[in-house]
């Protein structure tokens, strides 16, 4: 469950990124992550555990350093025993921003789930620390996580498997590489299981910056698909056989691009800073 925000304090930013964020020419997503983590005073811990590529952590360490963070450290976890080490917990206590790289989200949950590290990250976010991640590192942030599923536009019973995520919030379910891998169907199927949550589909090079006020703002070159199932009047999920299409009535869908916003509390979308181009 999400940690309770102490009286007089505000929750930190939650920043899921759809994967393949621009790391060379236009690094605005990563630059903004540094900004909401403290700017030139940012102290960022990179957790590359989802990836099996040894260079992943070092690459983000270099990128965040180039973008002006005061201090960056890489903290990998090879066993659940690592999650009990006092030195690692102390380093996370010092961080103003925590970033999960891409890879395999089930590797993250099996190594970190239920450990002191997972509990501490939830608590630090409740005390104002920014927590974000890209691709698999985005999926893990919510309480309900898409572990794996079938691509395609149709909602199909049994086509997606959910698992417990890190649990920073229970307000949304994340899917990433959304338009590039045609994942609308599996997000809809996840919402058929759990209509309470808001579905957030993140395109590549696109992020949802979710502030302490639970307002989501889009950053990046792609789009964010928001699916609100709170007013669903009927779903056939409980009566169809596995492999069969699901009927859902009353879904609300928003397509957001950079500058547009969505309030996760009121469930109202707005164009925000978005303006038409002028000649």
Model confidence pLDDT, tens digit, residues 135-154: 999 999 999 999 999 999 99
Catalytic residue among 51, 142, 177, 219: 177
Look at residue 272 in the predicted model and tell me its pLDDT.
Answer: 83
Instruction: Please tell me the distance from the alpha carbon of residue 89 to that of residue 143, in angstroms, as a whole number.
Output: 21
Q: Is 54 a catalytic residue?
A: no
For residue 278, name the pLDDT band (cuts at 50, 70, 90).
Answer: very low
What residue spans define the domains of the chain? Answer: 14-265
Model confidence pLDDT, tens digit, residues 3-62: 889 888 899 999 999 999 999 999 999 999 999 999 999 999 999 999 989 999 999 999
Contacts of 90 (CB under 8 A, 6+ apart): none
Joined together, the tokens standing for residue 4 give: 């309770």
Average pLDDT, the chain: 95
Alpha carbon distances (Å) from 210 to 120, 200, 258: 20, 12, 13
**57 close to 86: Cβ distance less than 8 angstroms:** no
Instruction: Give the DSSP H/E element, type plus range, for residue 47.
Output: strand 43-47
For 80-104, what is the mean pLDDT?
98
Whether CATH 3.40.50.720 fits 14-265: no
For residue 274, name the pLDDT band (cuts at 50, 70, 90).
Answer: low
Look at residue 8 in the predicted model and tell me its pLDDT.
Answer: 86
DSSP secondary structure of 24-35: SS--HHHHHHHH
Instruction: Please tell me the distance from the alpha carbon of residue 200 to that of residue 228, in angstroms, as a whole number.
Output: 9
Q: Is 135 a catalytic residue?
A: yes
Catalytic residue among 135, 139, 142, 159: 135
C-alpha 197 chain-centroid distance? 14
Catalytic residue among 21, 143, 204, 217: 204
Instruction: Please tell me the distance from the alpha carbon of residue 89 to that of residue 189, in angstroms, as a whole number.
Output: 37
Residue 185, φ and ψ in degrees, nearest 5: -60, -40
Q: Whole-prediction pTM value?
A: 0.96
Q: Is 3 a catalytic residue?
A: no
């Amino acid at each position: 469950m999400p940690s309770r925000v102490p009286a007089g304090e505000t929750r930190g930013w939650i920043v899921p990124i759809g994967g393949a964020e621009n790391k060379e020419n236009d690094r605005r997503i990563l630059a903004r992550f540094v900004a909401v983590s403290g700017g030139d005073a940012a102290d960022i811990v990179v957790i590359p555990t989802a990836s099996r590529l040894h260079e992943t952590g070092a690459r983000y360490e270099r990128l965040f350093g180039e973008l002006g963070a005061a201090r960056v450290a890489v903290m990998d976890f090879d066993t659940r025993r690592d999650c009990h080490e006092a030195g690692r917990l102390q380093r996370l206590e010092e961080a103003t921003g925590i970033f999960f790289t891409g890879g395999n989200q089930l590797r993250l949950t099996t190594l970190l789930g239920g450990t002191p590290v997972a509990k501490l990250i939830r608590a630090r976010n409740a005390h104002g620390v920014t927590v974000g991640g890209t691709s698999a590192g985005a999926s893990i942030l919510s309480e309900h996580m898409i572990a794996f599923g079938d691509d395609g536009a149709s909602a199909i019973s049994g086509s997606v498997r959910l698992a417990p995520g890190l649990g920073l919030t229970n307000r949304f379910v994340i899917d990433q590489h959304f338009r590039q891998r045609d994942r609308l169907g599996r997000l809809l199927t996840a919402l058929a299981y759990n209509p309470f949550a808001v579905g957030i589909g993140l395109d590549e090079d696109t992020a949802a910056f979710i502030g302490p006020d639970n307002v989501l703002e889009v950053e990046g070159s792609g789009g964010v698909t928001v699916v609100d199932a709170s007013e669903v009047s009927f779903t056939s999920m409980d009566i169809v056989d596995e492999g069969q299409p699901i009927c859902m009535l009353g879904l609300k869908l928003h397509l957001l691009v950079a500058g547009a916003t969505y309030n996760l509390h009121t469930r109202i979308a707005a164009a925000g800073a978005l303006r038409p181009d002028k000649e």
